Structure 1
């Protein structure tokens, strides 16, 4: 999973889904998302082209304006080959957007006097305790710190489990015991001293919520958050019902391969297992925004939501509330979160001050650039007056390689470089991703060409040499592979992959 960021006074009717009364939707496959110079011309890249080139079969969008869903729609299909059309009721894995929704559930318990944000969680945990160590002698793990990624807890995210694999219990996940595929969740920094994203912290929060509520986590969240917010197509259940699974998309890799078993299972639940739709996420965001203004209280009272949207932890450019990220290069009223499980990605953003926002989801690991581009286009059309991040040049060259060819993609990179990369985000990963696109196509000559260019661009980057070594290895050029893996290891002595590949390559040399 990815770091996400880089959230009642009177009982009013729940917000309703309202489609814009227009003959043309605000976005479709033909919508131009990017305009980039390539080979002396301006290349206009559409949503459909991005979806095809980045292997994202389906995209679903909900647009929020004036605290209402003004348009929602699905684009594409549930899988690359075949599948069914995406609709507004097609559920996607929300991944880390599960966290702010979970936070709302935890804050419901606080609002009812059943939990205290600043109490040592070990005083309320029953089925498991946070192991004490020197770091917790004076500073304790609290619910506030868990929900704001400030508790000093490890484990950034979780890999999930393929269908049919053994599922760990909650305690096994907390202690990193088989069949859990993640490390033990422990305090590895003094609580309250470090903003560090932690999915592990939300697993502890789940244990706390279950112990206090005496309900299974998914049932508690359905009763106290999802249903009150009007999220009719949402569930925290790890395994979908047969009917929901038939409607759900298949997770898709950057190479366009379907995930075995359709999707990975996430038994951690609280940080990553929410299935939902953009429209349901939009309803949740609207509820939070209106609650912050004292105009709704279906989930939380105004004071609790205002606490949720107040910066709790700041560092490394992040401003984090209770569950939501609060730094989004937009206004101070904006709360947001991204999500990424294997094969699924999503973005939710809402401005509580203007009532404008967006939820967009896709079933592909290459979705992030699409989500950002959709946000820019919708923001311009709906007058958000916001400053958006520059597009990722890595996504652009991937799409150009798909729409045109590799020469055009590398030409676009050179043009961007000539302009000082103005208007683009770029780095060692920009060409690296393009190189792996060629490697996955088994075009080792093109992969070597791209990786070699990346090494020339970033001669101090260990991973650039590691990738070039991998391409030479795939091409059967053992000595060149050894040379590049050795260079990578020199730059990064902790590169265990380079060590393993060198052992394999040198063993092969001895057997010749």
Structure 2
């Protein structure tokens, strides 16, 4: 990436007295450091993006249950050289799943269905075929959202070119044209192993819409996005024309454009969210604040606890992967759509975290370096000896 294309947009959400210290912290994150995973020479943050051919990236840092600052680097589109701004929309890819899970938990909280209810008693327009493994646990929403349902589609969804025919949810689940993939079916008894499954998220999406009688994007807007204040986010697929002008372009592993600006994902719960790093940080903060007893905007504390409590088979809770890093417990997720990468991670109790959105296939290795730098700069307890102070 040529340096003349490099652009930075910064928003600091703090009192003026703190602006200088935040600027110093950002400068440390951007300074030359040795990316240990690659064993390379010390690199600046800009050089990290160039190394992984990432045209543009947006970062939001969470501190004390607030968005402390956001900063964007590079271009939204290598063809037009339009810079990334605070309003640039990225495909969140699989970061869609935890947001969709929050809506399903809202449905359980208001009595639309039970988290441990047989999903076939919720579904009306389609049924999950009977298990070929004989008797055993019935598939439930909790299993679908924690990757323990036994559905075996570990693949990601490839998306569809703009203007192409889009499959219905039933066609996606049955693998019927124009769906580009095979059917979503059980490949093992439920709750016997953990296997990541985008198809499971689509079963849960259909259960949610069947139970409420509402379109999925409407549910997400009314129940989650608007209440949290995610004003630059949408689950509409395809994205409405008035929002398309804010989108970043998808780019391949070489940092070049790949034809259409992006692909369309009718698999909304699994991969359909368009958002900004700052908006997604508000979602992560809502989880943290609710767990801390400081918000009931979407869920009550007891219901939210399901999002950070693993089901006992594998590392996933309802929506998030739960990990222990050093002395701290974190909830996290990453995402990979065609030409987009995303990552979000936050502490379960301490009110800090980071969200990263990138418009290139090299975004995840770049994000891993950024997470290390942010964690070190702010002394996260995932590090015994932070590299930066």
Global fold match (TM > 0.5): yes
> Displacement of 1:261 after TM fit?
1.8
The answer on whether the counterparts of 1:308 and 1:321 sit within 8 Å (CA) in structure 2 is: yes
The answer on whether the counterparts of 1:35 and 1:42 sit within 8 Å (CA) in structure 2 is: yes
Partner of 2:19: 22
SS of the residue 2:230 aligns to: coil
Partner of 1:376: 372
Partner of 1:269: 268
Write the distance in 2 (CA, Å) between the matches of 1:353 and 1:299.
18
Q: In the alignment, is residue 233 of structure 1 matched against residue 232 of structure 2?
A: yes
The answer on whether the counterparts of 1:28 and 1:75 sit within 8 Å (CA) in structure 2 is: no
Write the distance in 2 (CA, Å) between the matches of 1:82 and 1:71.
27
Partner of 2:8: none
Question: Within 5 A, what are the aligned runs for 1:281-430?
Answer: 281-315=280-314, 319-327=315-323, 329-387=325-383
Q: In the alignment, is residue 93 of structure 1 matched against residue 88 of structure 2?
A: no
SS of the residue 1:384 aligns to: coil
Structure 1, unmatched stretches of 5+, are: 1-15, 389-512
Q: In the alignment, is residue 43 of structure 1 matched against residue 41 of structure 2?
A: yes
Change (3 A) 1:328 1:56: farther
The answer on whether the counterparts of 1:17 and 1:279 sit within 8 Å (CA) in structure 2 is: no
Partner of 2:168: 169
Question: Within 5 A, what are the aligned runs for 1:429-448?
Answer: none
SS of the residue 2:360 aligns to: coil
Change (3 A) 1:67 1:135: same
SS of the residue 1:345 aligns to: strand
Write the distance in 2 (CA, Å) between the matches of 1:144 and 1:136.
21
Partner of 1:8: none
Write the distance in 1 (CA, Å) between the matches of 2:28 and 2:163.
36
Write the distance in 1 (CA, Å) between the matches of 2:212 and 2:355.
30
TM score, norm. by length of structure 1: 0.68
> Displacement of 1:181 after TM fit?
0.6
Change (3 A) 1:313 1:237: farther
Partner of 2:82: 84
Partner of 1:216: 215
> Displacement of 1:385 after TM fit?
2.7
Write the distance in 2 (CA, Å) between the matches of 1:103 and 1:347.
17
Q: In the alignment, is residue 31 of structure 1 matched against residue 27 of structure 2?
A: no
Write the distance in 2 (CA, Å) between the matches of 1:211 and 1:251.
33
> Displacement of 1:33 after TM fit?
5.6
SS of the residue 1:326 aligns to: strand
> Displacement of 1:31 after TM fit?
1.6
Partner of 1:57: 55
SS of the residue 2:41 aligns to: strand
> Displacement of 1:80 after TM fit?
2.2
Deviations 1:350-390 (A, max 9, x none): 113211100111000011111111111111111113149xx
The answer on whether the counterparts of 1:148 and 1:313 sit within 8 Å (CA) in structure 2 is: no
Structure 2, unmatched stretches of 5+, are: 1-10, 385-389
Structure with the largest fraction of helix: 1
SS of the residue 2:341 aligns to: strand
Deviates more, 1:134-143 or 1:170-179: 134-143
Deviations 1:264-299 (A, max 9, x none): 111011011101111111111111111112110101
SS of the residue 2:313 aligns to: strand
Change (3 A) 1:257 1:64: same
Write the distance in 2 (CA, Å) between the matches of 1:216 and 1:56.
35
Partner of 2:202: 203
> Displacement of 1:349 after TM fit?
0.7
Question: Within 5 A, what are the aligned runs for 1:64-213?
Answer: 64-135=62-133, 137-156=135-154, 157-213=156-212
SS of the residue 1:206 aligns to: helix
The answer on whether the counterparts of 1:232 and 1:280 sit within 8 Å (CA) in structure 2 is: yes
The answer on whether the counterparts of 2:77 and 2:249 sit within 8 Å (CA) in structure 1 is: yes
Deviations 1:435-473 (A, max 9, x none): xxxxxxxxxxxxxxxxxxxxxxxxxxxxxxxxxxxxxxx
> Displacement of 1:115 after TM fit?
1.0
Over aligned residues, Cα RMSD in angstroms?
2.2
Number of equivalenced pairs? 367
Deviates more, 1:43-52 or 1:229-238: 43-52
Partner of 2:387: none
Larger radius of gyration: 1
The answer on whether the counterparts of 2:345 and 2:354 sit within 8 Å (CA) in structure 1 is: yes
- Tell me which of the two structures has the higher relative contact order, counting C-alpha pairs closer than 8 angstroms and 6 or more residues apart: 2
